[in-house]
């Protein structure tokens, strides 16, 4: 079945680079740690903080005693209470260790040796933007930090489970080069396919031990971790369970220092607790709220906002705007069941988007009625006190000519009508200046 979103993804694959808008649930690190603990996977004790003062207090308490009643924790590996602590920025992106803050140019993962140093680092992290190789443009704002006790690392490993759609089978990915080194050591990545019913077999264990050189006692720990990962993967409808790095400490224990998850969106009704943890960026929140109203919204990188109905028309509109030198700020598909209320909401979203300097409303009146669109345009403009940027309206379909006249004679400033598709696209490109909407 061809859907609006599948066409958008096809366009993104075959045209100029556009930031991916695939909506998948991912968890922030502190949620991931709690999930790992619930499945008895080894993680260091850690605490979420939102202020520099909290970061200072946590490091102070950790340094005093790893069992502080002020910060209760779940069972943990044998971690010394002396030594440094780690502060990690909580954003939905990888590469934080090599990322840089716009405040002091330092990393999104920092090691601190004292409470005062924790306060100083947190002051330069909270409220500032972190940019990494996986975060576009100006970066992501950091409002939460995760603080945990640093542990000694003898070696880092990469361990993940995903789903191989080509083979219709889950696959285990494992490497002796973990952490940030995994990206440059893909050749060391071993792929082992398994069944959810059979789990981790003796053959898989034997292969891993032979290739990665684990001792018999170490392999028992690795096997237990793999079994728990399979359980988590299956019970939580995961599409990705990634432990990176899984480290071997100087004391010979295995501890997960970072984790990343992906979950099947179709399992939302089964995994209500997991999906209740979802955190969205402002851009994702727009898409989410419009989706609840039955509108399909995808944020792009240009400055011309589009309101269209239908996937094919959306693609054609973007192509024509690009052909005439413009660039779209979004795809906003009102579909066939749009109402005045949903269209008003659509205008509100475009109004809040400071990038939008012009709007093209391109409607082919088949299921959706041109008279309703025309009335919604006039009504929305009246509520907003008129349009403060150029708006070009094209309506085609039943009574479209009559309704175009209604819009044209509404007395609204910055609004013009054009029945021809190509002329409408060309017109909005020419009329889009650098003014606020």
The residues that are catalytic are 158, 242
- Closest C-alpha to 346, from 310, 382, 376: 376
Integer Cα distance of 275 and 237 in angstroms: 11
Contact 248, 155 (CB under 8 A): yes
Structure tokens at 242: 């990634």
Contact 87, 125 (CB under 8 A): yes
Structure tokens at 427: 């017109």
Integer Cα distance of 57 and 53 in angstroms: 6
Integer Cα distance of 234 and 227 in angstroms: 11
Instruction: List Cα–Cα distances, 356 to 135, 385, 428, in angstroms.
Output: 22, 17, 12
Integer Cα distance of 433 and 358 in angstroms: 8
309 burial (CB, 10 Å; 0-12 / 13-18 / 19+) is: buried
Which residues lie across from 333 on neighbouring strands? Answer: 296, 308
Contact 204, 192 (CB under 8 A): yes
Which residues lie across from 146 on neighbouring strands? Answer: 48, 88
Integer Cα distance of 329 and 112 in angstroms: 42
DSSP H or E stretch at residue 210: helix 202-212
Residues 6+ apart with CB under 8 A from 320: 421, 422, 425, 426
Counts of helices then strands in the chain (DSSP H, E): 13, 19
Integer Cα distance of 73 and 37 in angstroms: 10
**Residue 232, SS3?**
helix
């Amino acid at each position: 079945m061809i859907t609006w979103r599948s066409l958008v993804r096809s366009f993104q694959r075959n045209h100029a680079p556009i930031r991916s808008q695939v909506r998948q649930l991912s968890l922030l690190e502190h949620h991931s740690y709690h999930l790992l603990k619930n499945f008895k996977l080894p993680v260091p004790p850690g605490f979420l903080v939102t202020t520099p003062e909290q970061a200072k207090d946590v490091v102070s308490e950790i340094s005093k005693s790893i069992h502080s009643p002020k910060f209760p924790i779940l069972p943990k590996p044998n971690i010394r209470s002396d030594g440094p602590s780690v502060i990690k920025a909580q954003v939905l992106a990888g590469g934080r260790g090599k990322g840089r803050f716009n405040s002091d140019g330092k990393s999104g993962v920092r090691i601190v040796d004292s409470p005062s140093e924790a306060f100083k680092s947190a002051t330069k992290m909270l409220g500032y933007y972190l940019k990494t190789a996986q975060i576009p443009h100006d970066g992501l704002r950091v409002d939460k930090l995760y603080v945990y006790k640093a542990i000694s690392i003898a070696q880092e490993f990469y361990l993940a489970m995903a789903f191989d759609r080509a083979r219709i089978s889950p696959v285990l990915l494992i490497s002796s080069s973990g952490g940030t080194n995994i990206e440059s050591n893909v050749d060391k990545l071993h792929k082992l396919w398994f069944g959810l019913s059979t789990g981790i077999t003796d053959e898989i264990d034997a292969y891993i031990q032979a290739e990665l050189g684990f001792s018999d006692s170490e392999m028992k720990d690795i096997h237990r971790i793999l079994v728990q990962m399979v359980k988590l993967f299956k019970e939580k409808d995961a599409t990705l369970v990634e432990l990176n790095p899984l480290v071997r400490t100087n004391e010979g224990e295995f501890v997960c220092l970072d984790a990343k998850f992906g979950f099947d969106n179709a399992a939302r009704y089964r995994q209500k607790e997991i999906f209740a943890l979802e955190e969205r960026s402002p851009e994702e929140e727009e898409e989410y709220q419009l989706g609840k109203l039955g509108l399909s919204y995808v944020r792009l990188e240009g400055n011309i906002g589009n309101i269209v109905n239908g996937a094919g028309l959306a693609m054609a509109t973007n192509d024509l705007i690009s052909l005439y030198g413009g660039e779209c700020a979004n795809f906003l598909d009102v579909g066939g069941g749009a109402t005045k209320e949903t269209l008003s909401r659509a205008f509100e979203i475009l109004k809040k988007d400071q990038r939008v300097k012009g709007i093209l409303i391109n409607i082919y009146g088949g299921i959706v009625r041109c008279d309703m669109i025309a009335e919604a345009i006039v009504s929305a403009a009246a509520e907003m006190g008129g349009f403060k940027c150029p708006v070009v309206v094209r309506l085609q379909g039943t009574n479209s000519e009559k309704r175009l006249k209604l819009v044209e004679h509404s007395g609204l400033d910055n609004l013009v009508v054009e029945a021809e598709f190509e002329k409408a696209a060309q017109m909005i490109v020419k009329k889009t200046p650098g003014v606020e909407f």
